[in-house]
Each structure stands twice: as C-alpha cells, then as structure tokens.
C-alpha cells in the first residue's frame, strides 16, 4: 500500500529565539518637570489598496517576486495585521518560509501590544519549521493571558511538530477545555491525537469539529486519513472527496485521496487525484512520487519516468523515487540505462538499500546474473529486517543462482 512509503521528515529549528516584548507607556520628562511633547507619528505614504490589488494579481499570475514586493509595499502604506497575515500566508503557500518569518517578525516587533501579531509570528515560525522559537513565542503569549485558548492551541501545534507529543496533546486539550465549541481547536486536537497514534480519539474529536463546521476542509481531510488508517478505506474516500469539495486548492487532500483510492484499487481515479496534488504543489516530492506510482501501475511508463524525475529533482528528493525510476526503465526494456543511472547514484549514496535492490533486477534483465546476486545481497545487508522487499530479493537471488548452474 502506498501509505507505507510515506515518510514524515522532521524539521529542525533554525532561527534564534525572540521573546515577546510587552508594551509599556514611557513618559519622558524635561528639566522643568513638564511632560515632553510626543512626536506625531508619520503618516504612511503610498496606495495600500492599489499595492494589495497588484500583489494579488501577481500572485495569481505566479510572479512571486513582484507579489512579495507589492505585499511589502501595501504593508508599508498601511501597517495592518490583515495585510501582513495575507502576505505571510502567500509566502508560506509558495515555499518561502524564511521570508514569511521576516515579514511576520517585522510586524510583531513593530506592534508589540498587538496580540494578533504575536500569533501571526508564531504561526509563521511553525510554517517555517522553527518549532523551538514558536514554542517560546507562544509561551510568552500564554504568560500574558493564562486563559488564552489560542495560545495553548498554537503552542500545542508547535510541540506536536517538535515531536513533544504528550505535551502538545495536553496543550491542545487545554485549548478545547477553554473553548469547547471552537471547531479549529477541535481539529488541531484531532490532528495531535492522530500524530500521537491515538486514532480512535482523534476520529471522535474530528467528527465533533465537522459537526460544528461541516465545511471544515482540514478536519474532513484528517478524518479521511485517520479512517484509512483504521482500515475503513471506503469511508476514508468519502471523507476525502468532501475535503476536496470544501477546498479544491488543498494539495494534501488530493494526495490523501489518491492514496485511499489506490488502497481500494481505483488506480485511474488515484492517478487523477495525484496529478491534481502535483499541479497545486509542484515542489513537493512525495506528490510527484505517488503520481509516478499511479502512472507506473496504470502502464504509462514514459509519463511515470517524468514524474519520478520530478520527485528526484524536488528539494528534498523523495528517497524511493530513484529506485522506482530505475524499475520503470528496466521493466520497459531500458535495463542498460537503468544500470548506468543506478551505478552513478551509488557513487555518492553507497548505503542506499533501495538502489542496490533495483540494480540487482537491472543486472538480471541483462543476464548479468552474478552481478545481480551481488547487488541483491548488498541490499539484504543494508535493508531493515522488516523491509517488505526482502522476500522478493531472496527469491530473486535463488532464481539467479539456478541460472548460473
């Protein structure tokens, strides 16, 4: 099943921590004891409305540089949390997390009394994978208001992503306790429970979120994913279809739908869903990998080769894409090309068991039986004991040894 090949990559914290600065009124006094006159704040210059419209148009056209510049111009013309929030969301959705953090941090530091700025900064940090700093920022938000459900929810999400699962779930439970009718918090708790390997309770919380907000695309997607993991694949597909209808622009919903459709054997439908995921998020390697898998299963070798190449070219590349590309090559009669491709990769990635596995079959297809045996034995040496390919490798070794006699 394709879900078995999905690998969650942990993101390390990258930025230094910044504390939340509490606002205070400072009165400067002159020598005579009179209150000094405060300078009038300068009025922002520029056309915020025009710049914002230009930013949205550039974003729609895919001109990321111009969109970023215009969003910056709009924010300077009208320092407003709504503009900054839209700007940060645009940057995160287009894989520009470092810029998103800088924009959010700029607003946060310029408006220390605006709690929304603190949450915006924390969410940008979470989106950028800097969970340690996000936890510090949210801890300060909670210190300012011990009954801040939003603070506990944000800190809980950051802790879950930092693999502090028990602490994260505890924070998310606290958020729901403080605001039990908030569908967003229930969804985050369901997600945290899912990450903590508690699918039964996760499903309950997600159903509660959907009951409050039937168009909650994130909750629908997560419930579909959880139900697949509970081996209710048909129901999983149903929830995931609802998720894609609630938000047709969410690539993860299309990706999860492709995985569930594949589990049901609906591989043509899965191919279509995976293709939509790659169209919406062309820089995500696992989307291209699963799209390649569907194309390979559906006997579209040339298209599969192209998809696997995209999975390899993405940053970071999918760890199994190279092996599957080689598999398509040798299965479509291009075993020599597969051999060259794999041996070149092994020069810099000598401990990749998957490459040796496919190299063994590439050799076998060219009747290089002894080399095939050596490659497959190297795979067995490097692969984990529970790797699902071990049996087929051992069977192939036996078959090749018989051919040598």
CATH number at 404 reads 1.25.40.10
Do 169 and 160 meet the contact criterion of CB atoms below 8 Å apart?
A: yes
Taking the model in full, what pTM does it have? 0.77
Average pLDDT over residues 179-189: 97
In a domain, 351, yes or no: yes
Question: Concatenated DSSP letters for 113-152?
Answer: T-HHHHHHHHHHHHHTT-HHHHHHHHHHHHHH-TT-HHHH
In a domain, 382, yes or no: yes
Please determine, for residue 17, whether its predicted confidence score (pLDDT) is greater than 60. no
In a domain, 360, yes or no: yes
Q: Positive or negative CA dihedral for 120, 125, 126, 131?
A: negative
In a domain, 396, yes or no: yes
Least confident of 13-27, 262-276, 381-395: 13-27
Rounded to an integer, what distance in angstroms lies between the CA atom of residue 149 and that of residue 154?
9
Instruction: Provide the residue range defining the domain that includes 371.
Output: 333-405
Least confident of 115-119, 146-150, 353-357, 376-380: 115-119
pLDDT in tens, 131-179: 999 999 999 889 989 999 999 999 999 999 999 999 999 999 999 999 9
pLDDT grade for 404, boundaries at 50, 70 and 90: confident
In a domain, 390, yes or no: yes
In a domain, 181, yes or no: no
Average pLDDT over residues 212-238: 97
Six-digit token pair at 43?
A: 């009025």
pLDDT in tens, 277-313: 999 999 899 999 999 999 999 999 999 999 999 999 9
Instruction: Identify the H or E element spanning 167.
Output: helix 165-178
Contacts of 7 (CB under 8 A, 6+ apart): 286, 319
Q: What is the pLDDT of residue 237?
A: 98
**Whose CA is closest to 131, among 93, 158, 96?**
158
Q: How many domains does the chain have?
A: 1
In a domain, 362, yes or no: yes
In a domain, 353, yes or no: yes
Q: What is the pLDDT of residue 405?
A: 76
Average pLDDT over residues 366-370: 95
Q: What is the pLDDT of residue 46?
A: 75
- Total number of residues shown for the chain: 405
**Whose CA is closest to 404, among 375, 374, 368?**
368
Q: What is the pLDDT of residue 44?
A: 54
């Amino acid at each position: 099943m394709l879900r078995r090949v999905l690998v969650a990559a942990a993101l390390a914290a990258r930025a230094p921590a910044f504390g939340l600065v509490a606002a205070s009124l400072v009165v400067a006094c002159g020598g005579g004891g009179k209150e000094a006159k405060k300078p009038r704040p300068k009025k922002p210059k520029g056309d915020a409305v025009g710049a914002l419209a230009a930013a949205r148009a550039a974003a729609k056209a895919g001109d990321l540089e111009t969109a970023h510049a215009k969003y910056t111009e709009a924010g300077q013309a009208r320092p407003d949390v709504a503009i900054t929030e839209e700007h940060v969301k645009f940057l995160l959705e287009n894989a520009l997390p470092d810029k998103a953090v800088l924009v959010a941090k700029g607003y946060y530091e310029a408006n220390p009394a605006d709690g929304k700025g603190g949450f915006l900064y924390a969410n940008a940090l979470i989106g950028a994978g800097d969970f340690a700093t996000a936890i510090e920022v949210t801890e300060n938000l909670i210190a300012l208001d011990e009954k801040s459900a939003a603070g506990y929810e944000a800190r809980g999400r950051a802790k879950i992503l930092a693999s502090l699962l028990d602490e994260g779930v505890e924070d998310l439970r606290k958020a729901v306790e403080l605001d039990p009718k908030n569908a967003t918090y229930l969804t985050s708790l369901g997600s945290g429970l899912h990450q903590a390997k508690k699918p039964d309770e996760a499903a309950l919380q997600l159903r509660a979120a959907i009951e409050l907000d039937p168009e909650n695309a994130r909750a629908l997607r997560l419930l579909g994913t959880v139900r697949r993991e509970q081996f209710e694949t048909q129901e999983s597909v149903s929830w995931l279809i609802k998720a894609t209808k609630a938000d047709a622009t969410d690539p993860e919903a299309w990706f999860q739908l492709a995985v569930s459709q594949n589990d049901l054997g609906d591989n043509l439908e899965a191919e279509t869903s995976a293709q939509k995921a790659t169209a919406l998020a062309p820089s995500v390697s696992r989307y291209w990998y699963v799209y390649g898998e569907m194309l390979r299963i559906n006997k579209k070798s040339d298209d599969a080769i192209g998809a696997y190449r995209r999975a390899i070219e993405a940053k970071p590349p999918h760890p199994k894409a190279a092996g599957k590309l080689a598999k398509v090559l040798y299965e479509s009669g291009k075993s020599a090309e597969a051999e060259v491709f794999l041996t070149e990769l092994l020069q810099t990635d000598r401990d990749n068991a998957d490459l040796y596995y496919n190299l063994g079959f590439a050799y076998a297809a060219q009747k290089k039986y002894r080399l095939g045996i050596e490659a497959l034995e190297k795979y067995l040496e490097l692969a984990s004991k529970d790797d699902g390919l071990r049996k087929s490798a051992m069977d192939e070794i036996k078959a090749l040894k018989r051919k040598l006699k």
